[in-house]
A and B are shown apart, each in its own frame.
Chain A
């Protein structure tokens, strides 16, 4: 436990004053008393402010859940600090966390209401991060005594992936739910015009089209399409992270692109009333069932923030079961460098499900060569791996699974339209 201790300034003041006084007496020279007098006063005043209470210190983050790039304040909470005049805060460098002041070191006087200088923190990359760990030092008036520096532990912050700009005006291929914003193939109560037909028993009178009925002398009614929601499953490849992440301000790694695209898709479909689910392909294998609403969206973002790139210890051979129910639109976000996920995606396509692959491998990714490996060899291996990947993607596309690179707004429009058109055709699903 940290306690108060005399500062070097107090010791120096007293020692120099004592030495000066002793020399003055020894040599009978009054000028030495003049020279050491201010230091003696500083020392005496430092001693007079000897602290009598033990302060208690802990820090608190104003927000524990933020999006990448957002900022919050790390506040120091001090108790029993009546003897304290100034506080110094030194926080260590945390990867992907920006600080203000930039060096993470600040000092200041304690205000009359106990206010102390704040540290501002801003996470620059999604994930779970320990933020706010710092060393705190307190000083009494006249800097006679110092408490600390005491290590204050930080708090876990959930950094949610920032939502990449995304919007889509395309219909979902297979809306099968009860209510929603997508135009269904079924004719039912809705607002989208479908056609005009003769009146049948049970039709509502407000659906009667009087203009047509008068012209043909038979009652006709307007029919509309039902409006339904759709089930969207977002599959996130967390088997590995390719490329170097520079946080939100720098270059994006494959997992950065994947997370931000997944967050954007989840937000878009949740906003449009669809039911959205999440499967993370990785060691932890997190999953969120289909659901709708803002709360469900927050659950998805929280799950994305907890993702760590890792390979399952027992992936069940090369078979991966994504547990997708019929009628669900599957969006696979992956750099597609894993045979396991490619096979699983092809399996879903064979089942007749609308599946699309969103390629999240950054174009500028370079291989991370091991130490000792010749760079030209690593480069050659990487080119071969990319050729193999291109071949796999081409084969996947030939099975009817569209593969599109993530481009933000409009990435999926054309693909979804094609899938919607194809969904209206009769199909034979292999089982």
Chain B
């Protein structure tokens, strides 16, 4: 990170640093407070991500947040997942916008508005999915549903990777 940050960049990077911590703290409402060392770890990684929005620290911190929601809580299907999802998405999109250029880049208002609209558009399915999952929670699981889910996820990842590789090969 070189040069002086503009006010817009300060705001974006503050969101990048703070939102993962907020997503972890949302688990308190869901009944599973994260240990302090974990929150500190997420905060440090979040700061690194804010300093270098294109670094792998972003992947690490988001995977840690997901892992805590999955491993730390066990059955975290709770309304607090909605603000946590919003926090994760906000951090991701703030990093995307801040990575448009160097640190001195002023944030273009039309670009910011475009990403706010996009963020809202991709956020809407999350609470709907949570409602459906909560509604189906008591129902017996069909045989092999998770195996099918895993296979589907695996195929999706392979398909995404293939497309991603083609893009790189073309490059």
B-binding residues in A (CB < 8 A) = 3-16, 18-39, 41-45, 47, 50, 86, 88, 90, 101, 103, 105-109, 117, 137, 139, 142-143, 145
**Chain B contact residues: over half helix, strand or loop, or mixed?**
helix
Number of A-B contacts (CB under 8 A): 202
- B171 close to A5 (CB less than 8 A): yes
Which residues of chain A come closer than 8 Å to B89, judged between CB atoms? 38-39, 42
Which residues of chain A come closer than 8 Å to B93, judged between CB atoms? 42
- A16 close to B63 (CB less than 8 A): yes
- A33 close to B129 (CB less than 8 A): yes
Question: Which 9 A/B pairs are nearest by Cβ-Cβ distance?
Answer: A8-B54, A9-B96, A25-B150, A3-B171, A21-B153, A88-B101, A30-B133, A41-B122, A38-B89
- A109 close to B66 (CB less than 8 A): no
Distance in Å: Cβ of A368 to nearest Cβ of chain B: 30
Contact of B95 among A9, A29, A32, A33 (CB under 8 A): A9
| Given A12-B59, A38-B85, A105-B106: A6 in contact with B111 (beta carbons within 8 A) | no
Contact of B133 among A3, A13, A33 (CB under 8 A): A33
- A31 close to B110 (CB less than 8 A): no
- B85 close to A37 (CB less than 8 A): yes
Which residues of chain B come closer than 8 Å to A12, judged between CB atoms? 58-59, 62, 92, 95
Distance in Å: Cβ of A188 to nearest Cβ of chain B: 68
Distance in Å: Cβ of B23 to nearest Cβ of chain A: 8
- A90 close to B102 (CB less than 8 A): yes
A16 to B164, CA, bound (A): 15
| Given A6-B168, A8-B53, A41-B125: A18 in contact with B110 (beta carbons within 8 A) | no
A142 to B118, CA, bound (A): 8
Distance in Å: Cβ of A401 to nearest Cβ of chain B: 54
Distance in Å: Cβ of A320 to nearest Cβ of chain B: 49
- B102 close to A145 (CB less than 8 A): no
A4 to B114, CA, bound (A): 22
Please give me the residue from chain A that is nearest to B23 by CB atom: A35
Please give me the residue from chain B that is nearest to A35 by CB atom: B85
Contacts A16-B62, A23-B66, A35-B84 aside, 5 further interface pairs with beta carbons under 8 A come to A8-B54, A9-B92, A44-B160, A103-B3, A107-B106
A15 to B62, CA, bound (A): 10
What are 7 A-B interface contacts by the 8 Å CB criterion? Answer: A5-B171, A7-B54, A9-B92, A14-B157, A23-B66, A38-B126, A109-B108
**Chain A contact residues: over half helix, strand or loop, or mixed?**
helix
Contact of A34 among B63, B67, B133, B163 (CB under 8 A): B133
Check if B22 is an interface residue, CB within 8 A of chain A.
no
Which residues of chain A come closer than 8 Å to B3, judged between CB atoms? 103
- A50 close to B163 (CB less than 8 A): yes
- B156 close to A9 (CB less than 8 A): no
Which residues of chain A come closer than 8 Å to B6, judged between CB atoms? 103
Distance in Å: Cβ of A30 to nearest Cβ of chain B: 4
- A106 close to B106 (CB less than 8 A): yes
- A29 close to B110 (CB less than 8 A): no
Which residues of chain B come closer than 8 Å to A21, judged between CB atoms? 149, 153, 156-157
Please give me the residue from chain A that is nearest to B163 by CB atom: A47
A16 to B108, CA, bound (A): 27
Residue interface mask B28-48, A partner, CB < 8 A = 1: 000000000000000000000
| Given A4-B171, A107-B100: A43 in contact with B69 (beta carbons within 8 A) | no
Please give me the residue from chain A that is nearest to B86 by CB atom: A38
Which residues of chain B come closer than 8 Å to A103, judged between CB atoms? 3, 6, 104, 106
Contact of A25 among B62, B74, B153, B161 (CB under 8 A): B153
A117 to B160, CA, bound (A): 33
Candidate in A9, A19, A26 with the most chain B CB atoms within 10 angstroms: A9
Contact of B81 among A27, A35, A105 (CB under 8 A): A35
- A105 close to B111 (CB less than 8 A): no
A138 to B56, CA, bound (A): 22
